[in-house]
Amino acid sequence: MPVFSYLAYPEKGAKEQLLKDLSEVRYCEITPAQNEEILILLTDTPDEDSEIKLQKQLKALDSLQSLSMTFGHVDD
């Protein structure tokens, strides 16, 4: 059950769009900053396969400029 957290940087001006996009992706919890152009993204997948699928989905998002991982936990 991998748990990761990231700072998600939207493309310029695309913070609202990214918020909308991410809320449609499964296993994601989003907390936007009120006064900066960043979001906190928390992912919690049940197994490694879902994790790999999720990574593919995130990489496909146009509104997402980059992800900076701030926490990672994988149970053995």
Query: Residue 24 is which amino acid?
Result: E
Cβ-in-10-Å burial (0-12, 13-18, 19+) of 59 comes to exposed
Binders of other proteins among 9-28, rule CB under 8 A?
A: none
Helices and strands: H and E segment counts in the chain: 2, 4
Pick from 13, 24, 34, 76 the residue near other proteins by CB under 8 A: 34
Q: How far is the CB of 14 from other proteins (least distance, A)?
A: 18
The DSSP call for residue 50 is H
Q: Does position 5 bind other proteins by CB under 8 A?
A: yes
Chain positions contacting other proteins, by CB under 8 A: 1, 3-7, 31-36, 38, 40-42, 44, 68, 70-71, 73
